[in-house]
Amino acid sequence: MHQFSLTSTFLYFIIALTLYFIWKRRRLYYCSFKHPGPFGFPLIGSAHLLTAGPAESYNTLMRIAQYSPVTRVWFGPFFYLFISKPRDVEILLNKSVDKSIYYAKYLGDALKTALLISPPEIRKGRRKLINQTFNSNVVNSFVPAFTKCANRLADELDKVCKGTNDPPDLFDIIMKTYLDAGCETLADVRPDSLYNKEKFLATGYRYQKSVKYRFFKPHLNIDFFWKRSSLRKEQLEIGKVFEDFIKQVIAVKQSQPENKNSKKQFLNYLLEMNKQNNLTTDGLLEEGALMLLAANDSTTPAVGSALVLLGMHPEIQEKVYQEISLLTDDTQDLTLQCVNKMNYLERVIKETIRIFPSVPFILRKIDEEIELDSYFVPANCEILISISQLHRWPDIWPNPLKFDPDRFLPEEVEKRPRGAYLPFGAGARNCIGIKYAMLSMKVFLAVILKRFRILEAIDYKRVEDIEMDIFLFGIAKKGYRIRVEDRN
C-alpha cells in the first residue's frame, strides 16, 4: 500500500510538471495552430525532415520556408517560425537584437565570445570598438591592397582556367587570395610572412562541416552527450588552431615597424585597445579569428557566383566590361574614384547576392511577444529568417531566378519594401563588414573582367542548375568552374 502511494505521488508529480510546462508554453502552441507547416509527430515534431542528412540541409530549410511567408515547425520541443514577409522581417530584425541561443551553442566551443555569438553584455562594447575599424575612410584605403590581391587571383586564373576544357573549382583559389587580402588589410601584415595559412583555411572549412553535422545529430544537441563527444573535442582543437594562427599574425605584426598611417586598421586598433585594457587578450584573439574567417567565407562564394553567372550571361558581362573600359585604361591601376563610378558592376554584385546570398538563413530569439499586422510572435520563440526565400518571392521579384542587374536601378529599388533585400542582415546585429565586402568584390571582379572574357560556366547552363549547400555560408554544391580567354 505504501509503495502504491509513492508511485501515485510520483505520477501526479510528473503530470503536474507536464501540465505546468504546457501552460507556460501555451502561447507557443496557440501560435503553432495559426500557421501552416510540415507534418509533425508527437514529441519529435518534424525532426524526421532532418533524416535527409547534412548534404540536403539547404533544400530541407527551403522546403519548409516555402509553405507560407510565415511557417511553423517543431523540432522536438523547440518551436520555430520561418518568416519571409519583408515588412515583418524588417520589424523583427529591428526589434530583436539578440541572436538565437543556437549561435553560441553551436559556435561557442571554437569562437568563445566573438562578436557573432557574444552575449549582450559583451557585444555592445565590442561592436563599438570594431565599428571604428570599418568606417569609410579606413575601408577606402584598402583599394591598392585589394587590387594587388585581385591581380594575384587573375594570374591564377590565367594558369588554370585558360586554354583548358576542364578547369578546377575556383573556390579554394579565391579563398586563399581573400585570406591574403584580409592579412594585408585587416591585419596589416604581408601574407608571405605567415605560415599555416592553408591549415587555417582548411580548419575553418572543417569547422563549418562539424557545425552542420551536429545539427543533424539530435542527441548531440543534448549537453550531456555533446560534452562527451569526439565532435566537441574536434571543435576545441579547431579553436586552438584559430587562436594559434592569430597569435602568429600578432607576433609578425609586432615584429614589424609601426605603421602610424594605419592605426585604425582592424588588428592595429584592437591591439591598441588591448594595451589600454579596453579589450581582453581573449577578446582580441577571438575577434581576430572571426574577422579573418568571415572576410573569406562571406565573399568567396559571392565572387565565385558572380563569375559563374557572368559566364552564363555574356551580354551582361560585356556591359560590365564596357563600363570598366570607360573608367580605366590599359596601364592604369584601379582607383577608389574609378571603382565608385562602377554602378553597373555594383548592380551585378547586388543581383548575385540576391539570388545566392552568402548567408541564406539567420536565426533570432524573441524575448518578448511582438504583435504584427496579422499575427503575433510569442516570447521565447526562435525565428528563422529565410534570406534566400525573401530574395525570391515572385510578388516582389518577378521571374526571381532571372539574372537581371537592372532590378537595382534606383527607381526599381524605390518600389520595393525595405525588408525585401537583406544580404547583410539588418538592425543592430547586421554584418559589420558591409563596406569591406562590397568594395573588395567590386575590385576583384573589375580586375578579372578587365583582363579576361569568361567563356562559359562549366557545370551550369541556367541559374536553376546551381544547387546550393549550406554550412554557415551558402556554397554551390558543384563549385565554381569557368573557362576564360584574354581580352587582348
**Residue 42 burial by CB count (10 A; 0-12/13-18/19+): exposed, middle or buried?**
exposed
CA–CA distance, 354 with 381 (Å, rounded to integer): 27
Minimal CA–CA distance to 83: which of 385, 288, 318, 398? 385
Task: Count Cα neighbours of 142 within 13 Å in the Cβ-side half-sphere.
Answer: 34
CA–CA distance, 449 with 354 (Å, rounded to integer): 21
CB atoms within 10 A of CB 373: 8
Binding residues for heme: 431
CA–CA distance, 99 with 292 (Å, rounded to integer): 21
Write the single-letter amino acid at 382: E
Tally of residues, the chain: 488
- β 452-457/370-371 pair status: unpaired
Helix (H, G, I), strand (E, B) or coil at 374: coil
CA angle at 204 for the pair 200 and 209, rounded to the nearest 5°: 145
- Helix locations, 73-161, DSSP H: 86-95, 101-111, 120-131, 136-140, 143-160
CB atoms within 10 A of CB 44: 14
Minimal CA–CA distance to 130: which of 272, 332, 308? 272
Minimal CA–CA distance to 312: which of 480, 488, 486? 480
Binding residues: 431
CA 152 vs CA 90, 139, 179, 459: distances in Å = 40, 20, 12, 25
DSSP percent split of the chain into helix, strand, coil, nearest 5? 60, 10, 30
CA–CA distance, 363 with 367 (Å, rounded to integer): 13
CB atoms within 10 A of CB 402: 12
The grid coordinates listed for 305 are 557566383
CA–CA distance, 441 with 146 (Å, rounded to integer): 9
CA–CA distance, 453 with 48 (Å, rounded to integer): 47
The grid coordinates listed for 246 are 592569430
